Amino acid sequence: RLKSLDTFRGISLVIMIFVNYRGGGYWFFRHSAWNGLTLADLVFPWFVFIMGTSMALSFRGALRRGIPRFKLILKVLKRAMILFALGVMISNSKGKAVDLRTLRVPGVLQRLALTYLVLGIMEAALAKSHDPHQWWSSVRDVVGNLGQWAAVLMFVAVHCCLTFLLPVPGCPKGYLGPGGLQHGGAYENCTGGATAYIDRMIFGTEHMYGHPTCMIPYQTTVPLDPEGVLGTLTSIFLCFLGLQAGKVILIFQGWKSRVSRWMCWSLVTGLVAGCLCKFSAEDGFIPINKNLWSLSYVMALASMAFLLLSVCFLAVDIFRVWSGAPFIYPGMNSIVIYLLHEILHWYFPVQFKVGETHAEQLAMNLWGACLWVGVAFMLHQHKVFISI
């Protein structure tokens, strides 16, 4: 078991908890209002990425142990269903009786569940149990998975087509803005363009997230779910790039060849992201946008994830200059810690009333994140590891 994967997952999770608890109220610890990246916008996609990396290793292990593929598919179905159900529970339980007429369907764990479902079934059906040496050996992390690449690129194509070509009543085609006050209110009900429109058609406005990050700065009134259906397609692509990082581990021996490949991937995905957004926050073809999970957003995040994975891998598994502590503990119990931090969000002593200054808020939010690292450490000491 590679400790660097748990460490990476733990880093993402701890930052996620910290920013969920509002990160002291500083703007750079909060989500972007619309286009752009803050620390808060980074962590969920990293989590998606590392899920893919772990999948590559676990599916290979299962195939090597001789588990039949249909059993793997059944297991994927079961895990995805549990994850989705937990997600619906978490994203609707806010300490009040839930009104079924306004039940929110999408959410963070739901997004993870759907992403896992699609790629899990694909891997269970197509993953190889060994990698034959061929003439194309040096690029066999890609050539060996051409079928999967074709399928995933098709998802990306569908994503682009729907985003740019789907007619949305009353809105310009391919609109990617926040609506509301933008452009003097000309497209006030177009918040999120086709992305939000598709969710409104599928779930209905009352079953979507109603307080998007653009609501206050742009005075928008249309609901927009940051974990909606269309973004699941780019999420699958991101997870697949993570899976690709895992294939690199399976296929290549020695840290130099692995890290150099990850660096190539980081460079390529970073350049694609840069070209898509023209290295600009607002003026690109596809701006980097967390609410829409735009293509440039997942490419930029993949680029960072390849880099961060390389650093963790070298520090924790190869040179062993870092044990991965304390992040490795929540990384090894990520689902439990994620659920607990959400369920006990408003419980004492996770949060309590402090002064309005950033310093006081920051101290309390850091304390909240540390608390869950401590809980994860205790679970680790008792050798309690819960997965679904």
Ligand X SMILES: *[C@@H]1O[C@H](CO)[C@@H](O)[C@H](O)[C@H]1NC(C)=O
Total chain residues near ligand X (CB under 6 A): 3
Contacts of 162-171 with C-beta under 8 Å, sequence gap 24+, read: 162/194, 162/198, 162/230, 163/193, 163/194, 163/195, 163/230, 163/292, 163/294, 164/194, 166/194, 166/197, 166/198, 168/193, 168/194, 168/197, 171/197
Task: Name the minimum Å distance from CB 41 to ligand X.
Answer: 28
Residue nearest to ligand X (CB): 189
Which of 95, 132, 170, 184 binds ligand X (CB under 6 A)? It is 170
Please list the active-site residues.
Answer: 31
Task: Name the minimum Å distance from CB 222 to ligand X.
Answer: 8
Handedness of CA 228, 230, 231, 236 (dihedral sign): positive
> Left, alpha or beta for 115 (phi > 0: left; psi -120 to 50: alpha)?
alpha
CB 79 within 8 A of CB 268: no
CB nearer to ligand X: give 78 or 211: 211
Footprint on residues 191-230 left by ligand X (CB under 6 A): none
Task: Name the minimum Å distance from CB 61 to ligand X.
Answer: 53
Task: Name the minimum Å distance from CB 189 to ligand X.
Answer: 4
CB nearer to ligand X: give 6 or 199: 199
Handedness of CA 61, 5, 244, 237 (dihedral sign): positive
Footprint on residues 37-56 left by ligand X (CB under 6 A): none
CB nearer to ligand X: give 224 or 337: 224
Under the criterion CB under 6 A, does residue 189 sit at the interface with ligand X? Answer: yes
CB nearer to ligand X: give 141 or 188: 188
Contacts of 239 (CB under 8 A, 6+ apart): 48, 49, 51, 52, 55, 115, 116, 119
Residues near ligand X (CB under 6 A): 170, 188-189
